[in-house]
């Protein structure tokens, strides 16, 4: 996670600070809700936490947070049959809208990285089915 801890926002009643992990969770949820996204692509550390039974809502999300702006990188697995440019634009819009409406931070960029394509079970079995059995 690459982040800069922002200064506290001072109000009459105290201060407000949004942790980078909160922005990661918001971005992750907004991404998963986008049609065509099969899942998030985490990497080795996230794979270990899943094996241990921990659900990581910020899996596949990296953020950089400034005082008034943020930049987000999401890594996804796309469902087979969806147009990658359309899904990516929808992710960018959903993430930007969710973060700006919930946190008040300005989103300067949302980068979408496609790491894999997930096939539906019946399509995958048709593709991988051997034509003939050679060994008995």
What domains are there in the chain, each with its CATH number?
9-128 (3.30.70.1350)
Q: Give me the pLDDT at residue 57, please.
A: 75
Output phi, psi for 123, to 5 deg.
-70, -40
Q: Give me the pLDDT at residue 93, please.
A: 98
Is the Cβ–Cβ distance between 113 and 74 less than 8 Å? yes
Task: Please determine, for residue 50, whether its predicted confidence score (pLDDT) is greater than 80.
Answer: no
If 0-12 CB within 10 Å is exposed, 13-18 middle and 19+ buried, where does residue 54 land? exposed
Dig out the tokens for 31 from the structure. Answer: 């991404």
CA distance 127 to 79: 15
Between 97 and 125, residue with greater pLDDT: 97
Secondary structure class of 82 (helix, strand, coil): coil
Task: Please determine, for residue 39, whether its predicted confidence score (pLDDT) is greater than 60.
Answer: yes
Task: Please determine, for residue 41, whether its predicted confidence score (pLDDT) is greater than 80.
Answer: yes
Q: Give me the pLDDT at residue 12, please.
A: 84
Is the Cβ–Cβ distance between 84 and 90 less than 8 Å? no
Is the Cβ–Cβ distance between 105 and 18 less than 8 Å? yes
Q: Give me the pLDDT at residue 127, please.
A: 52
Average pLDDT of the segment spanning 114-131: 69
């Amino acid at each position: 996670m690459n982040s800069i801890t922002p200064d506290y926002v001072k109000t009459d009643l105290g201060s407000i600070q949004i942790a980078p992990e909160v922005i990661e969770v918001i971005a992750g949820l907004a991404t998963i809700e986008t049609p065509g996204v099969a899942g998030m692509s985490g990497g080795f550390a996230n794979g270990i936490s899943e094996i241990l039974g921990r659900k990581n809502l910020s899996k596949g999300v990296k953020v950089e947070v400034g005082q008034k702006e943020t930049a987000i990188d999401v890594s996804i697995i796309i469902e087979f049959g969806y147009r990658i440019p359309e899904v990516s634009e929808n992710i960018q819009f959903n993430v930007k809208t969710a973060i700006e409406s919930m946190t008040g931070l300005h989103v300067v960029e949302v980068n979408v990285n496609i790491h894999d394509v997930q096939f539906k079970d019946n399509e995958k079995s048709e593709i991988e089915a051997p034509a003939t059995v050679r060994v008995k």
